[in-house]
Structure 1
Amino acid sequence: MDTPKSSKLEIIIPAFRGHSQSFLMVLDGISEEDGLKRIEGRTNHIVWMVGNFLDMRYAMGSVLGLNEEFEFKDFFLQGKALDENLEYPSLQELKDSFHKISPLVYNKLLEASDEDLEKAFPMGMNIDFFPETVLNFVGMCIGREDYLCGQIGLMRRILGYEGMKYDFDENMKY
């Protein structure tokens, strides 16, 4: 495992890499057509979930100092609600974006210092037990990624796909 500059990220680094793997495995075999299906008109579709996952990656990158812009941000920025009138990007376009941003964010996580992570990052939550810092924002993003992979996994099964396989690619370094 790569060693982060800040020991505060020792739990985040494996989670980030694990989520990268889960993201690709949970999407394995999902057709473009099925990526846009909703259940009884009540759920988000997989494409929206994937875009929201990527919005988290770009947000993490931004708070860590990256200047990369998510080309599809207008669809997904800050959990923007699904709009059935929009033509969303394809799963393949979103996967391409994932492979672009993920190694950049991973490197920023490895390079972050304790001072970088302790910086204030106002989120407007105003919760006593939750200091609004860069570190806690990164933690929130990691939690959201985990949630979204679970949601996509459930959609996989509802749409008739087999459960996600855990075929980790040890050569993928992000």
Structure 2
Amino acid sequence: MDTPTSKKLDIIIPAFRGHSQNFLMVLDGISEEDALKRIEGKTNHIIWMAGNFLDMRYALGALLGIEEEFEFKDLFFQGKSLDESLEYPSLQQLKDAFHKISPLVYKKLLEVSDEELDKAFPMGMNIDFFPETVLNFIGMCIGREDYLCGQIGLMRRILGYEGLKYEFDKDLKY
């Protein structure tokens, strides 16, 4: 495993890499048609969930100084609500964006210093037990990714796909 500059990220680095694997595995085999299905008009569709996952990756990238813009930001920024009147990207377009941003963010996570992680990062939460720092925002993004992979996994099962198989790609280094 790669060693981060900051020991504070010892738990984040494997989580980030695990989420990269989970994201690809949970989308594996999902058809473009099924990726746009909602359950009884109550759920978000898989495209929306995958787009929100990517919004987290791009937010992490921006936080760490990466100037890549998420092509579909207007559809997903900060968990923007699903709007069925809009045209959403394909799963393949989202996977391509994933492979573009993820290695860049991973590299930055390995390089970020304790000082940078300790910097204030106002989120407007105003919760006394949650310091609004760069490190805690990274943790929030990781948590959101985990949540979204779980939601997509549930949608897989509801749509009749096999459950997630944990067959990790040892060559995926981010």
The TM-score, its normalising length taken from structure 1, stands at: 1.00
| 1:17 match: secondary structure | helix
2:69 corresponds to which letter in structure 1? Answer: E
Is 1:119–2:146 an aligned residue pair? no
1:116 and 1:108 map into 2 onto residues whose CA distance is 11
Report deviation, 1:140: 0.1
2:82 corresponds to which letter in structure 1? Answer: L
Identity %: 83
1:135-170 superposed Cα distances (whole Å, 9 cap, x missing partner): 000000000000000000000000000101111001
Match of 1:52 in 2: 52
Match of 1:43 in 2: 43
1:72-119 superposed Cα distances (whole Å, 9 cap, x missing partner): 000000000000000100000000000000000000000000001001
1:87 and 1:66 map into 2 onto residues whose CA distance is 27
1:132 and 1:67 map into 2 onto residues whose CA distance is 22
Match of 2:104 in 1: 104
Match of 2:74 in 1: 74
Report deviation, 1:59: 0.3
1:167 and 1:11 map into 2 onto residues whose CA distance is 21
Structure 1 residues 1-174: aligned runs within 5 Å? 1-174=1-174
1:46 and 1:17 map into 2 onto residues whose CA distance is 21
2:120 and 2:68 map into 1 onto residues whose CA distance is 21
5+ long unaligned stretches in structure 2: none
Report deviation, 1:32: 0.1
Report deviation, 1:65: 1.0
2:65 and 2:87 map into 1 onto residues whose CA distance is 31
Aligned pairs, how many? 174
The TM-score, its normalising length taken from structure 2, stands at: 1.00
